[in-house]
Amino acid sequence: MENSTSEKVNSLIALSHDLALAVERVSPFVVAVNARPRVATSGVLWRPGIVVATNHTIKREEEITITLHDGRTLPAVLVGRDGSTDLAVLKVQDETSGSADIAADSEALKVGHLVLAVGRTGAEGVSASLGCISAVSGAWRTWRGGVIDNFVRLDLSIYLGFSGSPLVSAEGRIIGINTSGLARGAGLTIPATTVNRVVNALITRGRIARPYIGVGMQPVRLPDSLKTKLNLSSENGVIVLSVEPGSPADKAGLLVGDVLVALDDAPVADTSDVQAALIPERIGQAVKASVIRGGEAINISITVGERPAKGHRGE
């Protein structure tokens, strides 16, 4: 009995040492980002000279500084930001900075895995929060329209200043960026695959291209008689409530009152189906919209456009 108890204690001690080593391993790449009043927030030296932070914690676009693990404070330039995925990219001139060990395989994440959030809010050192992954699922769309490659919910505390901190595995590898800005009352992690995609786009273009066709829509149930007449398999479609002047839908001839039932032959039963079909890669390409107009089925070719930066609502 004593041997069994001793083995358990030794296992706990070994786990404790491993977690402390994981924090030590990533701490040189965790920085404090000074871009808002009073409390700094966390960021990660994702690549040499490139810091990833969360968009909602960047309250000013000039006079931003970062504090490194050795206490140095350096100026940083905002390269770009994306509210839809809550990510921001900063550039800092530091020849000594390396890049973190990124675990880009989000498919390996499992519910129950022990993980750490490691934050830095100043020159006094890092802080850590221990917990586990409480939920993992497939790709999802944020309330601002951004696509996150995997849903990763955390059962650990995201303390003040921890948005932008890395989620760290027990081996000391960075899994993604933590944020409290994408879900109320819950800590989520933006997986490394999403971070890499957004970072590449922001470095290249300074922004994220968002596809749109320029319509306001809502789901509508299709009458049985119409389904039978047009040989439709779906119970629902989406009715066009508004068409933005000069938009791709307007140029293609889509009208208020049209009912969209398919895009490129994929059934459309809700506005989320439209969002799923309008991926960034489709910008500039034509999509076939199957529409019911006046009780008859017609096809309209719509060239997907890029969502205007400001003043646009709808898909």
Q: What is the pLDDT of residues 283-309, one digit of tens each?
A: 899 999 999 999 999 999 999 998 876
From 187, 205, 223, the end of a domain falls on 205
Q: What is the pLDDT of residues 134-170, one digit of tens each?
A: 999 998 888 877 889 999 999 999 999 999 999 999 9
pLDDT-based confidence at residue 185 (cuts at 50, 70, 90): low
Q: In terms of domains, do 34 and 173 share one?
A: yes
From 205, 222, 247, the end of a domain falls on 205
Q: What is the pLDDT of residues 235-270, one digit of tens each?
A: 999 999 999 999 999 999 999 999 999 999 999 999
For residue 217, is it within any domain? yes
pLDDT-based confidence at residue 96 (cuts at 50, 70, 90): low
For residue 255, is it within any domain? yes
Joined tokens for residue 101: 């060990």
For residue 312, is it within any domain? no
Instruction: Answer whether residue 186 shows pLDDT above 90.
Output: no
Of 261, 207, 257, 199, residue with least CA distance to 233: 261
Mean pLDDT of 91-111: 77
The CATH number assigned to the domain holding 243 equals 2.30.42.10
pTM above 0.85, yes or no: no
Q: What pLDDT shows up at residue 167?
A: 96
For residue 315, is it within any domain? no
Higher confidence at residue 97 or residue 190? 190
Q: What pLDDT shows up at residue 308?
A: 77
Instruction: Answer whether residue 230 shows pLDDT above 80.
Output: yes
Q: In terms of domains, do 47 and 167 share one?
A: yes
Joined tokens for residue 295: 């009780």
Q: What is the pLDDT of residues 28-79, one digit of tens each?
A: 999 999 999 988 999 999 999 999 999 999 999 999 999 999 999 999 999 9
Residue 285 CA to residue 224 CA, distance in Å, equals: 34
For tokens 């009152």, the residue is 257
Q: What is the pLDDT of residues 216-227, one digit of tens each?
A: 999 999 999 998
Q: In terms of domains, do 15 and 138 share one?
A: yes
Domain count, the chain: 2
Q: In terms of domains, do 97 and 140 share one?
A: yes
What percentage of residues in the chain have a pLDDT greater than 70? 94
Q: Can you spell out the DSSP letters for 128-146?
A: EEEEEEEEEES-EE-TTS-
Joined tokens for residue 131: 């917990």
The CATH number assigned to the domain holding 22 equals 2.40.10.120
Instruction: Answer whether residue 108 shows pLDDT above 90.
Output: no
What percentage of residues in the chain have a pLDDT greater than 90? 68
Q: In terms of domains, do 36 and 136 share one?
A: yes
Q: In terms of domains, do 15 and 164 share one?
A: yes
Residue 130 CA to residue 120 CA, distance in Å, equals: 15
Joined tokens for residue 110: 């499992």
Instruction: Answer whether residue 314 shows pLDDT above 70.
Output: no
For residue 175, is it within any domain? yes
Q: In terms of domains, do 88 and 226 share one?
A: no
Q: In terms of domains, do 85 and 217 share one?
A: no
Rg (CA), the chain: 24
Q: What pLDDT shows up at residue 313?
A: 43
Instruction: Give the three-state DSSP class for 224.
Output: helix
Instruction: Give the three-state DSSP class for 147.
Output: strand
Q: In terms of domains, do 111 and 244 share one?
A: no
C-beta atoms surrounding 17 within 10 Å: 10
From 159, 187, 205, the end of a domain falls on 205
For residue 313, is it within any domain? no
Question: Which stretch of 130-139, 166-175, 306-315 has the lowest confidence by average pLDDT?
Answer: 306-315
Mean pLDDT of 93-122: 82
Q: In terms of domains, do 158 and 62 share one?
A: yes
Q: What pLDDT shows up at residue 166?
A: 97
Residue 257 lies in domain: 211-306
Q: In terms of domains, do 156 and 270 share one?
A: no
List active site positions: 56, 86, 163
Q: In terms of domains, do 225 and 193 share one?
A: no
